[in-house]
Structure 1
């Protein structure tokens, strides 16, 4: 499933550095990870109640066998000191059965047993319930996902399940972390993680005062139309944290009814007015073709060469949107910020 449109894609745009990360070990029920330094942080008392778009979830005791689904919750849990025993497959990014590079590195560094990788071949349209049952979780975290009500209701029969607070695939990176922290009983640790990220973003903003007031639009070419990411999508929303603004034309043309993307026909591309366009691509060849395609010259920023490009599934994924483990991942957001800065200087 293509990050661009789907959950995992969610970000159409997911990404890393090692497209061929080693496959996760095939243990049906890995043991929970050994305690980390984050475990020393103050913990909340249980039971914990989490309200979300699909219901209210009560977590009676501190979870020790966590499963994650969708995007970002795996990284959030790890940053909070909890290593999930089962995680959603990111097949578009790293292939079937593999872990995202930053996730795998975190398990290796902690000496934690690798998680079961839950099959997700079609962007969440179906759910691997039997695999989840085999992993024996006591909490299922999916705050940034596309869970349906039916899927949620079924999952709650397996373990307490936490879904998204608003629309599918639009949860902010802040809420993904804070909701995960609440469900895990680690709100103090969550505040620390968010404070660290805020510091990283503040440093980027301070380093680039030229971003202030400049407008951006994020797109993915699909031949005949482009996908435009709305302000509700964290991959472009995050850029407002460093001084940029989502272009007004993005909302003026929006037909998504609150979604994270919409389709814009080639006939309307001249209306997509932004100082800078950020384009996402599977390959370098696609990125080059994007800049040379005659139809796309109708986008003012493309015609002027004001385009910052993100290429290859791993890199796309690392910024679509960034997660608790990728804000400072080399090649990801830091590199994108420098590309945007180069374009802003034109």
Structure 2
């Protein structure tokens, strides 16, 4: 999409905004200011500083799960990324998002197809006042291109590494609902604590989340580091990050690493292993029969639970504002089943 077209869209949106404000009274303006959440406001993030001049009325989101924050707070985005993983009915909307849209009696927003990257023209066509991307993999170029459309709020530290609480804090602040965001965090913390209390066998267990094992080549084991939100979520449930994973995470900001099968003794301190599997269970059988991987203590005793394929449950292992309460009990129960095998 050309910079010229982007600038025309931005100018057109601005003119519409000026026209709409022409008939407001001083009293109405003061009322708007009292609800504005301190606008204009500036948000600092890993890609720079973003100033949002006024409380956004049209909110667009890109990449994974950012749309869940405004939705959880009662704001329907004008556009959001289509789901490309865990979408059980192939409509581009995850079940917990669909449920929330139904609760709000809202139509599905414009869905951006991000199969080949961000669709900048589709985002621009929604004429957003702000673009939320607190949990994302935006490059500097992505950020600069999106910024020609509207103010962009990127990730605070590293790509794809924003914890769920910070996703809520960052995105809710950007839309003038910071207080409501904190209330949402408090509610979810309560839900997590209640669920964790139902499964006391999880407390203190060390857990590792595998990224992948290729059934046709088991020479490498991928795993998420301590910087990844999936690994961090274990701690929310009362579990801990194994020393081996913590050590491997030192000196890097990467959210995933690999080890060769010859190094599997590094995982001797892992009580529970989870990760992405398949619907047939063949991957777990392959791991259990492999001469090297089968020697991992968690594999030997059977304290492994691989999430089925691209199911909603597998998707929700990466915690997001709406998915947490939707699948939390199922996820904790699966981990508890593995924990029961740890002596």
- Cα distance in 1 for partners of 2:70, 2:39 equals 17
Q: Find the counterpart in structure 1 of residue 121 from structure 2.
A: 130
Q: Find the counterpart in structure 2 of residue 17 from structure 1.
A: none
- Cα distance in 1 for partners of 2:315, 2:251 equals 24
Q: Find the counterpart in structure 2 of residue 20 from structure 1.
A: none
Q: Find the counterpart in structure 2 of residue 166 from structure 1.
A: 157
Q: Find the counterpart in structure 2 of residue 278 from structure 1.
A: 274
- Cα distance in 1 for partners of 2:37, 2:267 equals 47
SS in 2 for 1:204: helix
Q: Find the counterpart in structure 2 of residue 302 from structure 1.
A: 299
Q: Find the counterpart in structure 2 of residue 324 from structure 1.
A: 321
Q: Aligned pair 1:107/2:104, yes or no?
A: no
Give the CA deviation at 1:67.
1.1
TM-score by length of 1: 0.81
CA contact (8 A) 2:288 2:299 kept: no
SS in 1 for 2:67: helix
Identify if the C-alpha distance between structure 1 residues 141 and 282 changes in structure 2 by more than 3 Å, giving closer, same or farther. farther
Q: Aligned pair 1:98/2:89, yes or no?
A: no
Bigger shift: residues 222-231 or 166-175: 222-231
Identify if the C-alpha distance between structure 1 residues 341 and 317 changes in structure 2 by more than 3 Å, giving closer, same or farther. closer
Aligned counterpart for 2:144 among listed residues 153, 178, 197: 153
Q: Find the counterpart in structure 1 of residue 213 from structure 2.
A: 221
Identify if the C-alpha distance between structure 1 residues 293 and 74 changes in structure 2 by more than 3 Å, giving closer, same or farther. farther
Q: Aligned pair 1:176/2:176, yes or no?
A: no
Identify if the C-alpha distance between structure 1 residues 52 and 83 changes in structure 2 by more than 3 Å, giving closer, same or farther. same
Identify if the C-alpha distance between structure 1 residues 63 and 81 changes in structure 2 by more than 3 Å, giving closer, same or farther. same
Q: Find the counterpart in structure 2 of residue 208 from structure 1.
A: 199
Identify if the C-alpha distance between structure 1 residues 146 and 289 changes in structure 2 by more than 3 Å, giving closer, same or farther. same
Give the CA deviation at 1:44.
1.4
Give the CA deviation at 1:194.
0.3
- Cα distance in 1 for partners of 2:314, 2:207 equals 19
- What's the RMSD between the two structures over aligned residues? 2.1
Give the CA deviation at 1:96.
6.8
- Cα distance in 1 for partners of 2:126, 2:68 equals 18
SS in 1 for 2:86: helix
Q: Which runs of 4+ in 1 moved over 4 A?
A: none
TM-score by length of 2: 0.82
Ranked by relative contact order (alpha carbons within 8 Å, sequence separation 6 or more), the top structure is: 1
Q: Find the counterpart in structure 1 of residue 285 from structure 2.
A: 289
Give the CA deviation at 1:291.
4.7
- Cα distance in 2 for partners of 1:138, 1:214 equals 45
CA contact (8 A) 1:80 1:190 kept: yes
SS in 1 for 2:56: coil
Q: Find the counterpart in structure 2 of residue 234 from structure 1.
A: 229
Which structure has more helix as a fraction of its residues? Answer: 2
CA deviation map 1:105-158 (0-9, x unaligned)? 211221212111111114xxx321111111111111000000001110111110
* Consecutive unaligned residues in structure 2, runs of 5 or more: 1-34
Q: Which has the larger radius of gyration?
A: 2
- Cα distance in 2 for partners of 1:212, 1:231 equals 18
- Cα distance in 1 for partners of 2:340, 2:50 equals 49
* Consecutive unaligned residues in structure 1, runs of 5 or more: 1-41
Give the paired residue count.
301
- Cα distance in 2 for partners of 1:231, 1:120 equals 27
Correspondences of 1:52-67 after superposition (within 5 Å): 52-67=45-60
- Cα distance in 1 for partners of 2:251, 2:97 equals 32
Aligned counterpart for 1:142 among listed residues 120, 126, 133: 133
Give the CA deviation at 1:317.
4.5
CA contact (8 A) 2:62 2:118 kept: no
- Cα distance in 1 for partners of 2:97, 2:282 equals 27
CA contact (8 A) 2:192 2:328 kept: no
